[in-house]
Structure 1
Amino acid sequence: MKRLFISISCILSCGLFSVHAQTDSVKQCVSSEKEYVVTPFDIWMRSNWGFSMTGGTNYFLGDISSNENLNLQSNFGIGVQKQLNDYIMWKGNFMQGRLSGEKAEFESGSVANLYFFAKITELSTVFQFDVLNMLQGPAERKGAIYAYAGAGIVDFRTQRKDLITKAVQESYGFDGIHLAAPTRELVVPVGMMFSYNVNKALAFNLDVSLRMVNSDKVDAYKANANNTIFADMYNYTGIGFSYKFGYKDCDYDGIPNRLDKCPGTPYGMPVDATGCITDKDNDGIADNDDACPEMAGPAFTKGCPDTDGDEIADKDDSCPFDKGSIEMKGCPDTDSDGIADKDDKCPKEKGKIELNGCPDSDNDGLADFEDRCPELFGPVVLNGCPDTDGDGIADIDDKCPKEAGLSKNLGCPEVKKEVLKIFERALTGIQFETGKDVILKTSFPILDQVVKVMKENPSYNLEINGHTDNVGNAQKNMELSNKRAIAVQNYMVSKGVEASRMKAQGFGDTMPIADNKTALGKSKNRRVEFKVVFQTITVE
């Protein structure tokens, strides 16, 4: 072990000297005049291979182990490694060490007095994942966290003894007291590694892992004969270093100085096999200056394509296939209203931003295409139509637009109770000469009251409906009822009521309101009804 640590110290010192030498060489980064041929060894040395060394302790976790007595044993390992990409590294490990454990009594309280000692040799392969790169993206970091898992084989020779007498009770890899072929089992290592990167080549590591053995023989004791799958395991904790091979590279572009035709390349710039900055898309713009190094484009868009030729790169162009202005983020604005066509509901009509580019001719807050009355100012709740009388019914739907009314009356007011009473008396109060359409003078007073109602309520429109009983010829009854309704209309016109506000019509005996089998019923059926257009006047 002493020689091991001396070796590690020498290697670390060489690594630190190499770091100092590389730092100084940046100031002397010059091009070589000599042409070199790239050899297979050059390729191998630049292909992310490396090696590692580690030393630490093992702690057994199995049947013969105790939390009271930590039996730590030494372990040493070396390995080779290859960086596969920014996220994954492959490693092949060779490890050699020891394990031991003791148990004075079982969990049940009975005496155990068991002790074992084993020598182990492990050969395994693992895949190591860069946790920070996977979570935050690839970057140059001083600190790194890795998680790894893999599989391999472990050879071991072990002896179980009595803790007091030291008498051998069971062993593997021994023929009596002589060495025999070691026992070989599958081992599955899983763990975490914490690294400090001194530079791109050298890193110091802290390794914490669990090595699970597919056996219950490591401590030469089987607590449960029916369960031997990964029954024994041990913890390894160690420190060490890893080193990636490579040549001196003064500009850190991955190309050794003697092969670098463009020394002094800015750090982090992509380069080709000669160390010169690449132009992958062949657009004449170096990748380090090219905003789109994978896609060819003109210089005025920093190397990015501009499909529609509006001098706005496709990646920044909201409409990459339609020519537009910078103000519109590359989109056209056909009607020049400051709203891109793709967002403009009325792209061919200049409109307002708050209405998604649509016009509002009457400035009532509703776009014309949504406005029932686009030329007349009106509230939104009435779909942009005015309501002159303020009854909540748009003038376009209001039969009485200048007089507040009810929706059930199509915007016209409720008929007053006193008016209803007058119409009710008129049902029986209007009398005619028998079989004729001549109004008796006794009917004039009630008709004059109806005339007065019409004059006091200019919004009323009146339907005058004549009816008869079923006595006589039905056709003649129809004609008589019509003449009587017209006679009433003429009377009211003579009293000053506009004819345009009235409609006279006869229905004969087709709409009785009582039984025609009785004299009383026939009397009720011979009537003249007045009907305001928004309410029918009848007597139940």
Structure 2
Amino acid sequence: MKSKLFKALPVAIAGLFIGSVAQAQEPMASSTTSLRTWSIGVNAGVLTPLSPLGGKNDFSNNKSSLGYGLYIKKQFTPYFSLRLDGVRGKLKGDNTEAFESGVTNNSPVRSFDTQLEYSGTLSAVVNMFNIDMFKKENALQLYASAGAGLAGYKPTITTAAGTVDYAGGKNISELIIPVGLGAKFKISDAVNFDLGWTINFVDGDNLDGYYRGSNDKYNYAYAGLEFALGSGKQLAFHNPVAATYDEALAAKNTANALKSDLDAQKAENAKLRSDLNNLLADADGDGVADKLDKCPGTPAGTVVDGSGCPLKVPAPQITEKVIVTEADRAVVKEAIKNLEFDLGKATIRSKSFASLNRVAALLIEKNFSLKLAGHTDNTGSKELNLRLSKDRAESVKAYLVSQGANASRIEATGYGMGQPIATNKTAAGRQQNRRVEFTIY
């Protein structure tokens, strides 16, 4: 039996450490970076030289004695930790009573008293579940543990011949396999109340100084306090399910807020389109917007002036060659340079009016024709930029007509983002591409 346990020990320990590495490599949420992961514990309880899980008992009356211990624990995830335990105490038993089956124990050893000098074990501890999945911090957890270690002890036996030290009083060391269950109650962020019960399977039959051919075992039921080291909350009581739930709710609230902002922006854009349509509406088709038309309802084909009223005399036929001077081009160039619109709109800013007034005066004085070409950068969709460039060109035309220019001699066209004059990768380049070009002829 002993050789089998020693053969299985490397496999068991390898399994424990592989499990610990796998658990430790699981990514933790950023909210757990300040949690406490190290702790120490002290406990005291009852040591009894038997196991309730069955098997042969060497003595009919196994007594309970005081045991005490301490441990250090490293928590890798909310569900997994490694715990190094040390326990000392006494184990006692005698044959003053019959076995439960009624059979009298004919052992030559009447009683034993074993001093447990030490037991040191390394165990993997698994928190089985959190009590409330909707709380990020729980106050109660149940856990199970299993591991391996060594126990050193000195049995003293009493026979008909008297009391003697077993094995000449030498300290015996044996492999032990501890398996346990427990419940932990959080008192504060730094202190827990710990209740536990561990069954220790001994790789030998000399714990009680009497050999019967079956391995001995003893159990330790204890209560104690655990002290979490460091600052912050305890990782062992952290509930990532609830934390994820809260993060999902926060993400949902953020998405709802963004949707509300998007709906508000859509409503604002719809209002701007409506306002622009009202500004450019021309019911009688004479080329003068209704808001600027002083003579609405003129018949189709009627030649009108800049205010939308019919001309009293036919417009003179220009037969001479149109000559555009450098001074004329300078007026137009200045208007282009000073032309500004509200962000994302076709509304001309007031600082542009002075230079546009000079262009209108030039058109009236020399009866020039003017082509307006609106352009944008590549921010936004193609359809939106095409509409915005057309609206801005029409807005400039409407303003010039309001200053007396001949609407029939002004052409307004939008090209969107299709004809850039600079790169759209920089703010300066995009500023150059947002323009309305003036061409007089």
Q: TM-score range with shorter-chain normalisation?
A: 0.3 to 0.5
**Structure with higher RCO (Cα < 8 A, 6+ apart):** 2
Which TM-score applies when normalising by structure 1?
A: 0.35
Normalized per residue, the structure richer in strand is 2
More helix by share: 2
Question: What TM-score, normalized by structure 2, do the two folds share?
Answer: 0.42
Q: Which entry has the higher C-alpha Rg, 1 or 2?
A: 1
